[in-house]
Structure 1
Amino acid sequence: MASEQESSNGPVKKSMREKAIERRNVSKEHNSNFKAGYVPIEEERLHKTGLRGRKGNIAVCIIVLLFLLALINLIITLVIWTVIRIGPNGCDSMEFHESGLLRFKQKADMGVVHPLYKSTVGGRKDQDLVITGNNNPVVFQQGNTRLSVEKDKTSITSDLGISFTDPRTQNTFFSTDFDNHEFHLPKQVKVLNVKKASTERITSNASSDLMIKGDGKAIVRGNEGVFIMGKTVEFRMGGDIELKA
């Protein structure tokens, strides 16, 4: 049945009632198309997405940890770039060789250096090795043996003795080796200042005197006695002298 009936004289006009019914049907059809596929649901029954509760806390901790690692990596990179001076062209301050040699190409500012076992610290050929301390002594230490170089003095502390040897000729200039039972001072050394010395005999050259001097107190002791021989024996003291036999 057509919406408009046609006659021989033209289309037939609808009445007001028919037009109202037709508009109502069109409105219902429009509303039904607008709500197509709509299903009313309750929000409480929906599945919750995302990280909540303990999982959320763990995720925050992981993010913070990654941030700290990135910050540490940035600091290390800046140290390598500024201090060690490693760039696209290599390292500007030092060289690493396959033989294990570490060569510094510029001045190095260090606090404490711990060489490896049987290692050597040296300078370049025909150049001096200069080691300086900023208003502090330069200390070389191996176990209990200690060499301290200061502005006005140089001190050596050792429980086993000391020896000065030429590294090229292996000639010993000065040694406290008791195995040889003989200890010679170098010609340039005129005075030997020690707190305590243990030896079998103390002698001087034939053309010079032997003088033993103590600041305040001097003790000469022998396990089997003390024998003093010389052309002239002279004792000088500011206080008392005590002899025990």
Structure 2
Amino acid sequence: MAAAAAAAAAEQQSSNGPVKKSMREKAVERRNVNKEHNSNFKAGYIPIDEDRLHKTGLRGRKGNLAICVIILLFILAVINLIITLVIWAVIRIGPNGCDSMEFHESGLLRFKQVSDMGVIHPLYKSTVGGRRNENLVITGNNQPIVFQQGTTKLSVEKNKTSITSDIGMQFFDPRTQNILFSTDYETHEFHLPSGVKSLNVQKASTERITSNATSDLNIKVDGRAIVRGNEGVFIMGKTIEFHMGGNMELKAVNSWLYKSICGKNTVMKMIM
């Protein structure tokens, strides 16, 4: 009877889930367990039954969630270790502070050692400079050094320096703030800086090219020179000389005019 009742209870529990046992069923189960322990043939033997074993630990979804949390914590610990090593090796932060840079309350960031950087984006109205009485050395490893703000760009390469701007450019004397060189032709004429005797360009578009009253204007080219005017070309001078190694072509749409200026004789020489 007891075995049949226990089997029926186990079948009902497996089909409908765990059920609450009565006092009589608990007493029968306790008596059976005591018999098994007191038997000489089954001493220390406990049947493997889920109902008789104590359930411990996390099971099912809770166990999977615990494993995911442990893996996530391990990944975060590895990332934290990598960041710490980078800060210690690159920025060189130690017990005495940072060995490679200084942070000041005024917002100044000072580099105390040679720094290797790729791209620097200064903040609005920021300044990049060196210490007093020391030069600021910027070196590119087999790459050009580019300073850019908007569309204006200054590129310093090994064999050339180029300036690109949609508006123009001006060079100032840092001590007197005088304009040494400017491309603002609407305000003043274009003048070569003091000490510069020649200008080398591939193509120039201007209204007039003149020289000083005490010096000659020499235009030299290695290959072919083309002088073209939308409303004509006027060449004026006391003496006009053309030195060429090949042919010279004078082409006019309507007419070609040669005259003297202010009643003085103008001499034009062509040396082939």
TM-score, L = length of structure 2? 0.68
Secondary structure of the residue that 2:80 maps to in structure 1? Answer: helix
Deviations 1:104-163 (A, max 9, x none): 111212122121121111111111111122233322222232222233332322232221
Could you say which residue in structure 2 is the equivalent of 1:121? 128
Structure 2 Cα separation of the partners of residues 121 and 141 of structure 1: 13
Q: Structure 1: how far apart are the matches of 2:164 and 2:197?
A: 20
Task: Report if the CA contact (8 A) 1:181-1:200 is conserved.
Answer: no
Output aligned runs, 1:61-210, within 5 Å. 61-210=68-217
Aligned counterparts of 2:54 and 2:221: Cα–Cα separation in 1:
96
> Residues 200, 56 of structure 1: CA spacing in aligned structure 2 closer, same or farther, 3 A cutoff?
same
Cα distance in 1 for partners of 2:64, 2:146 equals: 53
Is the contact made by 1:144 and 1:159 (CA closer than 8 Å) also made in structure 2?
yes
Tell me what 1:60 maps to.
Answer: 67
Q: Could you tell me how far 1:175 is from its partner in structure 2?
A: 1.1
Contact map agreement 1:148 1:154 (CA 8 A) in 2: yes
Task: Give the CA RMSD over aligned residues.
Answer: 2.7
Shift of 1:41: 8.3
Say which structure, 1 or 2, has more relative contact order (CA 8 Å, 6+ apart): 2
- For 1:25-53, what per-residue CA distance to the aligned partner results, in whole angstroms no more than 9, with x for missing partners? xxxxxx88x75xxxx88723467543334
* Change over 3 Å in CA distance of 1:160–1:196 after alignment to 2: farther
Shift of 1:103: 0.8
Identity of paired residues, percent?
A: 75
For residue 232 of structure 2, what is the aligned residue in structure 1?
A: 225
Q: Structure 1 pair 194/142, CA: closer, same or farther in 2 (3 Å)?
A: farther
State the TM-score, normalized to the length of structure 1: 0.74
Q: How many residues matched?
A: 211
